[in-house]
Amino acid sequence: MSQVMIDTGNYIAAKAAVMCKPEVVAAYPITPQTTLVEGVANYKASGEFKGEYICVESEHSAMAACIGASSTGVRTFTGTSSHGLLLMHEMLHWAALARLPVIMCNINRVVGPGWNIWADENDSISQRDTGWIQFYCSSNQEIFDTIIQSFKLGEHEKVSLPVMISYNAFILSHTSMPVYVPDQKDVDNFVKKRIPKWKLEVENPITFGNIILPHEYEKVRREMQNCQENAKKLIPEIASEWKKKFGRFHGDLLEFYKCEGAEYILLSMGAIGAESKVAIDNLQKNGFKVGLARVRTFRPFPQEEILKLAKKADLIVIDRNISIGNEGALFNEVKGSIYGKTDAKVHGFIAGLGGKDVTFGDIETMCKKAIKGKATDHQVWYGLEEV
């Protein structure tokens, strides 16, 4: 029977992962991810998780172990955060280029120095070019549903790429919320056994990762790009199948909230995306025509959807990250998506770095500044530039 479980984002993520029956989980603990892998270990102790749990000596090894396991055709899962994710960097490229659908949660945490364990998206944004599909979640229910959908997506024959499910440190990872947990048999029916695109097996010897010449390598990159494009079509299909079976929906590549008739659209990700809904309610009550498009997938990036929005409205972007030397990653990519195709204005804000709280009041202030024409074309640092 389906049930309601009240627990933190991390324990909910552990439950979702275990329900997908990975054969191998290899992980190394790091705050704020620790309770996620503890959760999986608890399920191992209780017997609910029947796969192998490999305790490794570093995150680089955790990803290497997942790659090795995934190469034999089995389902794999891991989780990390911040410096742990950065230590995996080389292996992240490796998993994607090897086309292995490793599924991983990343709990968005500040990158040091400055020892700081709070929410900030620079860790996963700095991994955006690794070839991984990237989701950003805004509630525990979305974490649960997205993990299960990610196994189906990543392992799909038209994708075969690793998937990273990101959610903000503490705001989600350590906050309890009620979550609907479906029956195990319904999850089994939704996520079928993995059929690998290739695998290492004694009966059919192959070598993997051998020399590859320039013209062949380019084809591999091109195929990865095609598969991310395939994911753009499959994410809505899988989300809609989930909605039909389980009645819950968190959006496709974007989640639209009160966008009809809006003259401004706010774009944000993760926990700020959830907080933005409260801000939109208040702003609309006060006569401001502003809606929300919460970005769920940063890779593949929803260029076409954003262009559609920009043809009807001006855009306001909030980034909880900064590509130092340029600008916020979402701000930058939103502008890239609409370049030369519309004259919509795009206003960018940097907010909430280092785990600084971003409340609905803050979001309303940013939106009002943009709507009243007081925001400049360049990016504004909220809280540092008299905003």
> Which residues make up the interface to another protein (CB under 8 A)?
97-99, 160, 197-198, 204-212, 219-220, 222-223
101 vs 98, 215, 230, 237, 347, CA distance in Å?
Answer: 9, 25, 15, 18, 36
Q: Could you tell me the smallest distance in angstroms from the CB atom of residue 100 to another protein?
A: 9
Q: Could you tell me the smallest distance in angstroms from the CB atom of residue 226 to another protein?
A: 9
Q: Could you tell me the smallest distance in angstroms from the CB atom of residue 217 to another protein?
A: 8
Long-range contacts from 142-145, C-beta under 8 angstroms, 24+ separation: 142/250, 143/9, 143/12, 143/13, 143/16, 143/105, 143/167, 143/172, 144/12, 144/13, 144/15, 144/16, 144/179, 144/180, 144/181, 145/16, 145/242, 145/246, 145/248, 145/250
Q: Could you tell me the smallest distance in angstroms from the CB atom of residue 163 to another protein?
A: 17
The residue (of 3 and 207) whose beta carbon lies closer to another protein is 207
The residue (of 189 and 226) whose beta carbon lies closer to another protein is 226
Q: Could you tell me the smallest distance in angstroms from the CB atom of residue 106 to another protein?
A: 24
The residue (of 157 and 304) whose beta carbon lies closer to another protein is 157
The answer to whether the CB of 348 falls within 8 A of the CB of 328 is yes
The tokens 């993520």 sit on which residue? Answer: 13
The residue (of 94 and 136) whose beta carbon lies closer to another protein is 94
Q: Could you tell me the smallest distance in angstroms from the CB atom of residue 222 to another protein?
A: 8
The residue (of 73 and 383) whose beta carbon lies closer to another protein is 73
The answer to whether the CB of 329 falls within 8 A of the CB of 125 is yes
| List of residues 6+ apart from 286 with CB closer than 8 A | none
Identity of residue 83: H
The residue (of 139 and 160) whose beta carbon lies closer to another protein is 160
Q: Which residues pair with 25 in a beta bridge?
A: 53, 77
